[in-house]
């Protein structure tokens, strides 16, 4: 009975995280404790997203047209995540690109309007994702397309554990509360294991450096500005995904 209760609780936590991070499960209201408990499932939600978004192409959909497959992969990821992480990426690019600091940095970060740096960030980010996905597909290493969302969400948990949330942060505070030492180790282990299985050990090693650099840069920026929020975490997911694809190409 205890095992059954434990499995049921973990399933609820996974479903909650899937509904929060993607549209692949129903979204529902949750307590702060439930949100924090779901953080450990972020990489598993990434695996689900990767399977849904890359699966059709790995099964042969639009075979022989790698550019179209790459576009479809990027589009499906946008659809599956509701563009949630790209929104954070754009906000962070606006705030960082402005060279603002302090209250002005946070004002720009929280502004729902998008500026020039946000537009450029999305353009180059999505194009980068498409180009890297195209290269991975043409190399016959499509498993990396499934792995990329896993690494991105594991990196997000690592970042949340490295820097405390800012005073204006809501989602960042909830994620940081769930990013315990054990959770970080579990998420890193899931990312490494799925990477070895789907992309190979050399790809995992090659992706580790750019991913670590991305987390370190975001952590340094967050510390400079007095903490992180959900926009930092969304940007970290994007950079982690790009790192997985880049590492696969370099391996």
pLDDT for 60-110, tens place per residue?
999 999 999 999 999 999 999 999 999 999 999 999 999 999 999 999 999
Residue 43 lies in domain: 2-250
Question: Is residue 194 predicted with pLDDT exceeding 90?
Answer: yes
Question: What is the number of domains present in the chain?
Answer: 1
Question: Average pLDDT in the 209-220 region?
Answer: 98
CA-nearest of 55, 63, 16 to 39 is 16
Q: How many CB atoms lie within 10 A of CB 17?
A: 27
| pLDDT 10s digits, 135-153 | 999 999 999 999 999 999 9
Alpha helices in the chain (DSSP H): 2-21, 32-37, 42-58, 66-81, 84-97, 102-110, 116-138, 143-162, 171-178, 181-198, 201-224, 230-250
Question: Average pLDDT in the 165-186 region?
Answer: 87
Question: Is residue 185 predicted with pLDDT exceeding 70?
Answer: yes
Angle, to 10 degrees, between the axis of helix 143-162 and the axis of helix 230-250? 140
pTM score, two decimals? 0.96
Where does residue 229 fall: left (phi above 0), alpha (psi -120 to 50 degrees), or beta otherwise? beta
d(CA 144, CA 137): 9
Check residue 1 and give its pLDDT.
61
């Amino acid at each position: 009975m205890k095992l059954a209760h434990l499995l049921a609780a973990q399933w609820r936590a996974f479903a909650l995280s899937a509904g929060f991070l993607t549209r692949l499960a129903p979204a529902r209201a949750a307590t702060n404790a439930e949100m924090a408990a779901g953080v450990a499932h972020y990489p598993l939600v990434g695996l689900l997203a990767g399977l849904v978004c890359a699966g059709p192409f790995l099964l042969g959909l639009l075979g022989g047209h790698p550019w179209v497959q790459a576009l479809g992969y990027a589009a499906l990821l946008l659809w599956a995540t509701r563009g949630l992480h790209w929104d954070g990426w754009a906000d962070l690019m606006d705030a960082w690109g402005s060279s603002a600091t302090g209250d002005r940095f946070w004002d720009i970060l929280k502004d729902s309007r998008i500026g020039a740096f946000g537009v450029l960030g999305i353009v180059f980010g999505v194009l980068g994702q498409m180009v890297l996905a195209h290269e991975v597909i043409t190399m016959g290493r499509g498993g990396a397309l499934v792995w990329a969302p896993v690494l991105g969400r594991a990196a997000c948990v690592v970042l949340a554990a490295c820097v405390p949330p800012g005073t204006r942060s809501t989602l960042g505070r909830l994620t940081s509360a769930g990013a315990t030492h054990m959770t970080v180790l579990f998420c890193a282990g899931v990312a490494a294991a799925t990477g070895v299985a789907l992309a190979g050990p050399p790809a995992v090693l090659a992706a580790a450096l750019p991913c670590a650099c991305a987390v370190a840069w975001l952590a340094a920026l967050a510390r400079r500005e007095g903490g992180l929020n959900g926009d930092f975490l969304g940007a970290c997911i994007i950079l982690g995904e790009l790192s997985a694809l880049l590492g696969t190409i370099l391996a």
